[in-house]
Chain A
Amino acid sequence: MSPALVLGGGIDALAAAHLLARAGRRVTLLNEGIAERASDAGWVAPPLLRELQLDVRVSRADPWASALLPDGGTLELWQDMARSVEAIRRLSPQDAAKWPDFCQRMAALAGVFEQMYAEPPVNPLDLGLAFRVRRLGRQGMEDLMRLLPMPVAELLDDWFECDALKGALGAMGIVHLQQGPRSAGTAFRLLHHHIGSPPGVFRPPRSDLAARLRAIGGIEIRSAAVARITVRSGRVAGVVLTSGEEVEAELVVSGLDPRRTLLDLADPGWLDPKLARAVGHIRRNGVAARILFRTAEPKSAVLAPSLDYLERAYDEAKYARVSREPYLEARPSEGATEVHFQYAPYRRSDGDWNAARRKELADLARRLLSGLGDAEASVLAPPDLEAREGWPEGQAYHAELALDQALWMRPLPELAQYRTPIEGLWLCGPGTHPGGGIAGAAGYHCARQIALKAADRKGKVTQ
C-alpha cells in the first residue's frame, strides 16, 4: 500500500494517522508545530477505540457546572442527578421537579445523535433514517422535530424559570458559535455537547485519548509546515513544505480546515468553479478567546447568569465588538485555570488585536470572576488561536457547527464523505462530520472511507 501523509496535529488527524498505519500503510504525520496538545474534549466514538484496541480514561468534572449567581452564590450541578435536584430546588422547586424529566428527554435525543455520529453522515433521504426516527416513538419524534431547528432559549423557557440554570445550559447551545441563545438551531448544539454524558450532565467529558494515541507509536511524526499540496493531472502527488522540501505521496489526508486545504494549499483551479465558490463560503466565525491564568488554585466557574445575558453578549459580536459582559467558563487545566471568553470576534470593528486589547480581555475576566487574583495571564485571541492551533479565524471547529453546516452538509454536501474531487486528497478534520467537540470521530470515519475505497479498488483489480 502507498505511504500516506496526514496533515495537522489535531485529535482527528492523530486518529486517522493511526488507523491508516494499522491498515498497513506507512504514515507520516506532518504536525505544523502548532497544536502541541491535541484537544481531549468530547465523546470518543466506541468503534474508534475498538479498532485501535485502546482503552481511554474518561474524566468528568463534578460538579460539572458551578454557575455564578448575581447575589454571589453558586448553583452547582452534579454528576449525581439527585444532588443537582437538591441544588436547583433551593432556587426553584418547580424547576427541580422538572429536572429529571428534562434530562431523560434530552438523553433520548442525544442517543439519536450518538448513533448518527458513530457512522459517516446519514443520507437524509434514506428510508433507514426515517425508520430510525420513527422508532423513537411519538414523544421522541415530536421532541426531535421541534428541537432541531429551535432556539435553545425557547427550549429552556418551555421547561424552566430559573435564570441561572437556563444560562448554564444555554451556554452549551452557543459555545464557539456566532449566534445567541435566541437563534434557531442552537438547541441542536446543546444536544451535540450532551453526547457521551450521562443524563443530566451538559458538559462534554474529557479523555486521555490524545496521550494514548501518542503512546502507541507506529507512525512517523514530523514537525513541519505545509506550504502547498501538489496535484498532477487531478491526482494528489504530495506536499511541498515551507522549507522547500518536497514530500511525495499518493495519499494525503488533511486534518487542516477544508477552506485552507482546498483553496490555499491545493490550487483551487482543480475544483469545479461552483464548488470552489462554495468552499470559499464555508463559515468559520471564530468568536472565543482562551485565557490561561496561572492561579495557585485551579478554578471552575460558569458566568452565564441568564439567557438575556448571553443574548446581549452576542449582540455586540454581531457588530464585530467584544462583549462588555461576556460568557465566561473557567476550568482547571494543567494546574492552572483556563477561561473560555465569548464573544471575542476574530475581526474587530475598532481595528486589530494588539497587546493592550488582549490584556483588556484578561482584566475583564479577572473583574467578572473572583478568585483569579493577580495571577499571570496569557491571552489567546482568535488570531492567536488561528496561528497556534490552526483554527481558521479562531474557530475551534474549523467550520461553524450550525445546522446548514452539520451532518451530511458538513462542511459541504460535496465534501461530506471525506473525499475531495482531487484524487487521493481526503479531509479528516473537525470541519467534517461529526465535527468539533467530538474526539477523533471525523478521523475515524475518514480512515474508514479510505479503507473502503482501497478495498473497492483492489476488488476491481483482482477481478
Chain B
Amino acid sequence: MTEPKASVKRYDAIVIGGGHNGLVCAAYLARAGKRVVVLERRERVGGAAMSEEVFPGFRFSVFSYVVSLLRPEIIRELDLPRHGLHILPLESTLTPLPNGDYLAQWNDHDQNRRELARHSLRDAEAYDEFGLVLHQMARVIKPVLRMAPPDPASLHPRELLDLLKLGRHFRGLRPEQFNALWKLLTMSSADYLAEWFETEALKATKSASGIIGTLLGPRSPGTAYVLLHHYMGELDGVFRAWGFAKGGNGSVSAAIAGAAQAFGAEIRTSAAVSQVLIEGGKAVGAVLEGGEEVRGKIVASSADPRRTFLSLVGEKHLPGEFVQSIRRFKFRGASAKVNLALGELPSFTCMPGAGPHLRGAVSISPSVDYLERAYDDAKYGEVSRRPYMDIVIPSMLDPGMAPPGKHVMSIFVQYAPYHLNGGWTDARREALGDAVLDTLAEYAPNLKSAVLHRQVITPADIERVVGLAEGNIFQGELSLQQMFFLRPAPAWSRYRTPVAGLWQCGSGTHPGGGVMGASGRNAAFQILGRRA
C-alpha cells in the first residue's frame, strides 16, 4: 500500500490512526472527492477492532468483540456489506447463579417471558414496558448522536442555530419523556433498575451493561445512562440486537477500509506519526517516526485526546486552559480481556452440555452486590477478586474462527484498573487470568481442562498495543461531565481544535466509543462543512 513518493504528494486530508473512526472519517472525506491518506502506526488497520490468529488455527477479535452500536447510516452509506461486513446475531444472555440455577434472556419474546416468569411474574410483566421506555429514550437520543455539539456559550450564528435546533429537539419532547431522560442521566443503574425489577440476577445483568468500560459501580449515579448507550444497539433496525462480525471485529475495520479505498483513500500502515506538523499556527501535515513529512490541507486525528494534543501537537501550540481541560479528561481504563482457545465447549452446571445458550452471551453477574464488590476492589487499585465477566464463544456462530471441533472464547473482564497498586507486571497479568478462570470454573467445572491456550490483555496492554490512553475502551470515560458539549473539552466539542486545520475524529469526541463510528462520521461532515 505504501508508495515511496507519497511524501511529496499533497493531500487534502491526512487522517491519523486507522481505527474504525479514522477509517470512517477517511471514507466519508474520500467519498466527497477529497484526496485522503490514513496513517496507521501498526502493520494493520483496525485499532481496537481487529482480528488476529493469536494461536495457530484460533482467530480472535482480540480487543472489542461484539458489534451493535455501529451506526446503521454508516453501514448503509458506505455499503459495508459489499465490502465484506456480515453480522451474525447473538441470541441470548445466560446468567448462571451460584445456587445452580440460572437466568436466561432470549431474543424470542415468548420464551423470554416464560423464563422471567419462572423467577418473578412481576418482572415478566414489567419487562415489556421497560423495553418500551428504553426504546423511546434511545429514539430521543439517536438524533443527538448525529449532532456536532454546539458550544452553549458561543455567539457564532451557526452554533446559535444548532443550539436552537437542540433546544427545539428537547422542547419537542413530552415532559415525561424529558424527565425520564433526566432520570437516566442522573441515576445509578442499580437504583433505576430497582424501580422496575425484583429479580436480583436480572437487575445485575442489566446493570452490568451500565458499567462496561467505566471505573464506576452499578450503584454509582450516572451509570443508568451508559445502560441506555448499550440499548442503542441497532442492527437492521432492531433495537437491542447484538452480534458478531463474521471473521471477528477485524472484518468491521476491513470493510470500512475497503469502502474508504474504493472511494479513493490511500491507507498507509506501519506509518507511525510522531508529530503534527504546525506552521504559522496551522496544521499542515504529519511527521512520521522516520522523519518523513506528509503534507495535507487539513489533519484529522482519531487518536485519543491526550495523545493527540499532549504528545502529537504539544502544549506550546495550545492555549493553557485547553491543555488543562485535556489533562483532567478522565480515562481510567477498567476493563481487561481474556481470550481462550478451547479443546472442548464449556459445560455449565446450570445448563450442562452444548445448547443454544452457547450461541449467546454468558454473563457472570449473579447480583448487584457482586458487581459492586468487584468495583470496590478496583476503586482502591486492585483487580476484582471475583470479577464481572461477559463471555461469548464466537466459534459457535462462525466456525471458521477455530479448528474443527475446537472453540474460541472471548471473556470481557471487569474490573482490572489501569492504575493498579504496584503497577502491572507479568505476574499480575497471569494472576488476573487465574482469577478469571477460577471464578468461571465455579460455573463451568470443565473449563480449566478445556483450555489449550490463553491470552490475557490488561488495560496497560491495550494502551501499549492499541494506543488507547490508560486502556480506556471509549477513549475517555463516558461520564456526564465528559459528554456532549464537554467532550473532550468545553468549547471544543465540534471536532475542531485550537489549532487551525487540525480536527479530531476519534471516540474521545461526541458521542464516544463502542465501535459506533459516529465520531468519525460527524467529524467528516464538519470538515466538509456539511450537516449530517
> Which residues of A come within 8 Å of B, CB atoms?
124-125, 127, 130, 133-134, 137-138, 141-142, 145-150, 154, 158, 179, 182-185, 278, 281, 283, 308, 311, 315, 318-319, 402-404, 408-409, 413
- Chain A CB within 8 A of B183 CB: yes
Nearest-Cβ distance from residue A46 to partner chain B, whole angstroms: 29
Q: Are B182 and A146 in contact (CB under 8 A)?
A: no
Minimal beta-carbon separation of B300 from chain A (angstroms): 25
- 8 Å CB contact of A142 from B186, B222, B490: B490
Complex CA–CA separation, A142 to B480 (angstroms): 13
Task: Please provide the 6 A-B residue pairs with the shortest distance between their CB atoms, ordered closest to farther.
Answer: A149-B480, A403-B186, A184-B222, A138-B153, A184-B221, A404-B186
Which A residues lie within 8 Å of B486 (CB)?
Answer: 142, 145-146
The smallest beta-carbon distance between A273 and chain B, in angstroms, is 12
Q: Is B451 an interface position by the 8 A CB rule?
A: no
A138 to B194 alpha-carbon distance, docked (Å):
38
Residues of B within 8 A of A (CB): 152-153, 167, 170-171, 173, 175-176, 178-179, 182-183, 185-188, 191, 194-195, 216, 219-222, 328, 330, 369, 372, 376, 379-380, 479-481, 485-486, 490-491
Q: Give A138's nearest chain B residue, CB to CB.
A: B153
30 A–B pairs (Cβ distance < 8 Å), ordered by A: A124-B182, A125-B167, A125-B175, A125-B178, A127-B167, A141-B152, A141-B153, A142-B491, A145-B152, A146-B486, A146-B490, A147-B481, A149-B186, A149-B222, A149-B481, A150-B481, A182-B379, A183-B188, A184-B222, A184-B479, A185-B221, A308-B380, A311-B379, A315-B379, A403-B221, A404-B183, A404-B186, A404-B187, A409-B183, A413-B179
* Residues B153 and A185 in contact, CB atoms below 8 Å apart: no
Nearest neighbor of B155 in chain A, beta-carbon distance = A134
Residue in A closest to B490 when the chains form the complex, CB atoms: A142
- Chain B residues closer than 8 Å to A148, beta-carbon distance: 480
- A145 contacts which chain B residues (CB < 8 A)? 152, 481, 485-486, 490
Contacting residues, chain B, for A158 (C-beta < 8 A): 328
Of residues B216, B369, B481, which shows the largest number of chain A Cβ atoms within 10 Å of its Cβ? B481
Min Cβ gap B150→A in Å is 12
CB within 8 Å for A413 and B175 given contacts A149-B222, A318-B219, A404-B187: yes
- Rounded to whole Å, the gap between the CB of B142 and the closest CB of chain A is 19
| A271, B442: Cα distance in complex, Å | 48
Residues in B whose Cβ lies below 8 Å from that of A179: 221
Q: Chain A contact residues: over half helix, strand or loop, or mixed?
A: helix
Chain A-chain B contacts (Cβ-Cβ < 8 Å), number? 90
Shortest C-beta distance, B170 to chain A (Å), equals 6
Of the listed residues A138, A184, A319, A413, the one surrounded by the most CB atoms of chain B closer than 10 A to its CB is: A184
| A124 CB contact (under 8 Å) in B178, B194, B481 | B178
- By a CB distance below 8 angstroms, the chain B residues around A182 are 220, 379
A130 to B481, CA, bound (A): 18
- Apart from A145-B486, A184-B186, A404-B221: 18 A-B pairs, beta carbons within 8 A: A124-B182, A125-B170, A125-B171, A125-B173, A133-B152, A134-B153, A146-B486, A146-B490, A149-B186, A149-B481, A150-B480, A154-B330, A179-B221, A182-B379, A183-B188, A184-B479, A184-B480, A319-B369
CA distance A408 to B221 in the complex (A): 18
Residues of A within 8 A of B490 (CB): 142, 145-146
> What A residues does B376 contact at CB under 8 A?
315
Q: Knowing A125-B170, A149-B480, say if A138 contacts B491 (CB, 8 Å).
A: yes
On whether the beta carbons of A404 and B491 are closer than 8 Å, the reply is no
Contact A149 B479 (CB under 8 A): yes
Residue of B nearest to A407 (CB): B182
- What are the residues of chain A within 8 A of B153 when measuring CB–CB? 134, 137-138, 141-142
Residue B176 contacts which of A146, A281, A403, A413 (CB distance < 8 angstroms)? A413
Can you name the residue of chain B whose Cβ is closest to the Cβ of A408? B179
Question: Considering the chains assembled together, what is the distance between the CA atoms of A182 and B372 in angstroms?
Answer: 14
Give the residues in chain B near A146, CB-CB below 8 Å: 481, 486, 490
Q: How far is the CA of A442 from the CA of B329 in the complex (A)?
A: 38
Chain A residues with CB under 8 Å of B221's CB are 179, 183-185, 402-404
- Residues of B near A149 (CB, < 8 A) are 185-186, 222, 479-481
- Assess the B195–A281 pair: CB atoms within 8 A: yes
* Nearest A residue to B485, CB-CB: A145
Q: Is the CB of B191 within 8 A of A283?
A: yes
Query: In the complex, which residue of chain A has the Cβ closest to the Cβ of B187?
Result: A404
Query: Whole-angstrom distance between the alpha carbons of A431 and B479 in the complex?
Result: 27
Chain A residues within 8 Å of B187, by CB:
402, 404
Chain A residue at minimal CB-CB distance from B183: A404
B182 touches A318 (CB 8 A): no
User: Chain B: which residue is nearest A158 at the CB level?
Assistant: B328
A97 CB to nearest chain B CB (Å): 16
User: Which residues on B sit within 8 Å (CB–CB) of A137?
Assistant: 153
Q: How far is the CB of B474 from the nearest CB of chain A, in Å?
A: 16
Cα–Cα, bound, A105→B178 (Å): 29
Minimal Cβ-Cβ distance residue in A for B221: A184
State in angstroms the CA–CA spacing of A127 and B379 once bound together.
40
State in angstroms the CA–CA spacing of A145 and B483 once bound together: 10
Taking the nearest CB of chain A, how far is it from the CB of B305, in angstroms?
16
| Complex interface: chain B residues within 8 A of A402 (CB) | 186-187, 221
Q: Please, which residue of chain B has its CB at the minimum distance from the CB of A150?
A: B481
Decide if B379 touches A185 in the complex (CB within 8 Å). no
CB A66 to nearest CB in B, in angstroms, measures 28
A185 and B186 contact, CB distance less than 8 A: yes
Q: Is the CB of A183 within 8 A of B220?
A: yes
Q: Bound state CA distance, A311 and B183, in angstroms? A: 24
Chain B residues whose CB sits within 8 angstroms of the CB of A408 once the complex forms:
179
- Most central of A146, A147, A154 by chain B CB within 10 Å: A146
- Tell me the bound Cα distance from A148 to B380 in angstroms: 25
A-chain residues with CB within 8 Å of residue B179 when the two chains form the complex: 408-409, 413
**Bound form: Cα–Cα A403–B183 in Å:** 8
Please state if B182 and A404 are interface contacts (CB–CB under 8 Å): yes
Contacts of B485 in A (CB 8 A): 145
How distant is B298 from chain A, measured CB to nearest CB, in Å? 26
Q: Which residues of chain B have C-beta atoms less than 8 A from A141's C-beta?
A: 152-153
Max count, chain A CB within 10 A of own CB: residue among B153, B176, B328, B372: B153
Q: How far is the CB of B318 from chain A (nearest CB, A)?
A: 17
